[in-house]
Amino acid sequence: MSNNPLIDYTGLPPFSEIRPQHVQPAVEQLIAAGRKKIEQVLAQGDFSWKGLVAALDEEDERLGKAFGPAGHLNGVAQNPALRDAYNACLPLLSEYGTEVGQNEKLYAAYQALHDSAEYNTLNEAQKKDLENTLRDFRLSGVSLPPDKKAEYMEVAKKLSELTSTFSDNVLDATQSWRKHVTDESLLDGLPDVARAGAADRAKEENLNGWLLTLDFPSYYAVMCHSTNRELREEMYRAHVTRASDTGPDAGKYDNSAIMNEIIELRQQEAQLLGFSSYAEASLETKMARSTEEVVGFLNDLAVKAKPQAQQELAELRAFAAEQGAGDLQPWDLTFWSERLREARFSISEEELRPWFPAERVISGMFGIVEKVFGIDIRQRDGVDKWHKDVRFYDIVDTGGEVMASFYLDMYARTGKRGGAWMDDCLGRVRLKDGSLQKPVAYLTCNFAPPAGGKPGLLTHDEVVTLFHEFGHGLHHMLTEQEVSGVSGISGVAWDAVELPSQFMENWCWTEEGVAMLSAHYETGEPLPKDKLEKLLAAKNFQSAMAMLRQLEFSIFDMHIHSGLEGKTIAQVLDEVRDEVAVIKPPSFNRFQNSFSHIFAGGYAAGYYSYKWAEVLSADAWSKFEEEGVFNPETGRSFREKILARGGSKEPMELFIDFRGREPSVEPLLRHSGIAA
């Protein structure tokens, strides 16, 4: 056992012991150990599953267990020293990963296993893992001549640094802007929850009054509810110019040059591998077969959604005009959309908040998945965590055995990057000694924390977000695979990975589901029937406008990764908007400079996955609509045929196995309230 807490710890990560100075030494030591292990395996010449794959997987697991917690802390509890330590490791890991992927002797060893008699004795998961590994060798440039291999390695290393810098710039730009308010009249229209949160933020910094920030709960509350148009405009400008050449921090955290370099390097990487574009290369690991198929799919949805979106926008403009709003500007749209929703359905997100206290939502969500999937969820105390608000839970099977566990980190705070996500802490894998490592997940959100003496209260939209991330978590945790490369979400085609997450959202839109999720935080009374009916009636409010926005992002992503052809990134975005959008942002808008999903996350040339997987999830849900939303047989079928199988089989095969046929786009359009 090393005295470095990141090396060879047993069980869960020892978060309270991890310091920035532990990160790089642990990574360097384990990369060296990995290189040595590869040499040993190749020298021994035992190219069996156990001698080759299991031996090297175990070494990879050690490295992942060391760097994983450091990467997680960098996302949820960042400080300058940790950021530096994390970023220092990225080029080391990139270089090592590329070096392994380009090792011709190692590739030949895996190919020898694939061609051997033992291959026929491997199970489905082992065969799929081996096929994926051979494919990944090819996508790492294993067949390139030495000079091209070196070029590929430099490109990969540079990309890992640039994407991290992009993410850091977005975080810094978000956290650098704040507005200290001492005149309460500036806060007119803001809900109590938002005011209390702003007051608590001010107190934390020893300020009087209120502190508004660009963290999403604070920003969204202002855009949605502030009657002060100047305040909305000020915050809108700050938000849409983050990490750019304009706005309050013009040039300070500018991602413009970084984005260009990322796109150029990705194109260079793809061409080295013999692909015409990065988009084409990325589809090698996805369900979609070609960029034409993807763009055709997106354009077809846009054509179906646009007429309704134009109608929705016209209705919004007419309503705002009736209220004397004048010419609508971008900072007015969210505000007047919420007023229209209130007028049309006599319901608002804020009005519903008291009925969705975080505790009730969490217990209700657990109750739903327990009912549907036949599991039990129990909180466990005494676990080492990174913040006092974090909780830890075990998932227990019907026999009382712990199958999996997860951390739940619900609330926004300084040093935590925005958004919501699931990440794996440990994967389910059968170790070389025969023991089974159980899966553990991180579930992270950024909701407004408890404030002003009230508990955390969620909007219904935030309830949907929580279910989405928990769906990813269930995919990771309810896997029955024991091969690391296809366990949980590993090895799942990227455009199918959103299927379980979007599928889980559906329970938030059922009468039975909402009854389990809601209870007034003061009285405990259920959500009144009239409010429930209004909530469900409002489900598809401006759904076509929302769909077009997602399609705009997806088409833009595919276009910039298919080749800029002499255009700037901004020009491509403008062209896509001219074709698809019904709302054109102002010229100062720099949305792309903080589009972390494609410039810093895993969604490059894959943002379309949200819509692609939504077709699958809507069609999967239609089976529950037919057979009963709490039907345990249908739930067991989804668990066994989708969640349990992980990446062990092609997602289309799994879907057909569950649904009995190929997916149809009709349920998505129907669920979105868009005429086919």
CATH number, domain containing residue 130: 1.20.1050.40
Could you give the dihedral angle defined by the CA atoms of residues 277, 166, 461 and 178, in that order, rounded to the nearest 10 degrees?
-150
Same domain, 413 and 521: yes
Residue 131 annotated as catalytic = no
Same domain, 184 and 135: no
In angstroms, the CA 33 to CA 24 distance is 14
pLDDT digits (tens, 9 = 90+) for 364-376: 999 999 999 999 9
Q: Which of 596, 558, 606 is CA-nearest to residue 580?
A: 558
Angle at 359 between CA 358 and CA 364, to 5 degrees: 100
In a domain, 31, yes or no: yes
In a domain, 279, yes or no: no
Structural domain ending residue among the three candidates 122, 139, 156: 139
In a domain, 488, yes or no: yes
Structural domain ending residue among the three candidates 91, 121, 139: 139
Same domain, 69 and 190: no
CB 12 within 8 A of CB 425: yes
- pLDDT recorded at residue 4: 97
Domain extent at residue 466:
354-529
Same domain, 109 and 220: no
Same domain, 390 and 459: yes
Same domain, 521 and 375: yes
DSSP state string for 604-617: TTTTTHHHHHHHHH
In angstroms, the CA 571 to CA 593 distance is 14
In angstroms, the CA 505 to CA 546 distance is 16
Q: Which two tokens stand for residue 337?
A: 């959309």
In angstroms, the CA 593 to CA 517 distance is 37
Q: Which residues contact 51 (CB under 8 A, 6 or more apart)?
A: 41, 44
Stretches in the chain below the pLDDT threshold 50 = 1
Identify residue 192 by its one-letter amino acid code.
D
Strand partners, 442: 407, 423
Question: How far apart, in Å, are the Cα atoms of 162 and each of 95, 167, 524?
Answer: 14, 9, 49
Could you give the dihedral angle defined by the CA atoms of residues 153, 156, 157 and 160, in that order, rounded to the nearest 10 degrees?
-170
pTM across the whole model: 0.94
- pLDDT recorded at residue 432: 80
- pLDDT recorded at residue 58: 94
- pLDDT recorded at residue 433: 86
Same domain, 229 and 109: no
In angstroms, the CA 471 to CA 488 distance is 12
CB 595 within 8 A of CB 553: yes
Q: Which two tokens stand for residue 118?
A: 């033992």
Structural domain ending residue among the three candidates 501, 529, 557: 529
Catalytic position from the list 469, 482, 498, 505 = 469
Q: Which of 218, 214, 257 is CA-nearest to residue 238?
A: 214
Question: Which CATH number characterizes residue 410's domain?
Answer: 1.10.1370.40
Same domain, 199 and 132: no
In a domain, 169, yes or no: no
Could you give the dihedral angle defined by the CA atoms of residues 478, 493, 442 and 160, in that order, rounded to the nearest 10 degrees?
160
Same domain, 522 and 408: yes
In angstroms, the CA 309 to CA 637 distance is 36
Q: Which residues of 231-255 are buried (b: 16+ CB within 10 A; e: fewer)?
A: bbebbbbbbbbbbbebbebeeebbb
Same domain, 519 and 430: yes
In a domain, 171, yes or no: no
Same domain, 375 and 474: yes
In a domain, 206, yes or no: yes
In a domain, 234, yes or no: yes
End-to-end CA distance of the chain: 61
- pLDDT recorded at residue 675: 72
pLDDT digits (tens, 9 = 90+) for 238-265: 999 999 999 999 999 999 999 999 999 9
Identify residue 193 by its one-letter amino acid code.
V
Same domain, 70 and 209: no
Dihedral angle sign, alpha carbons of residues 514, 517, 519, 525:
positive
**Number of structural domains in the chain:** 3
In a domain, 23, yes or no: yes
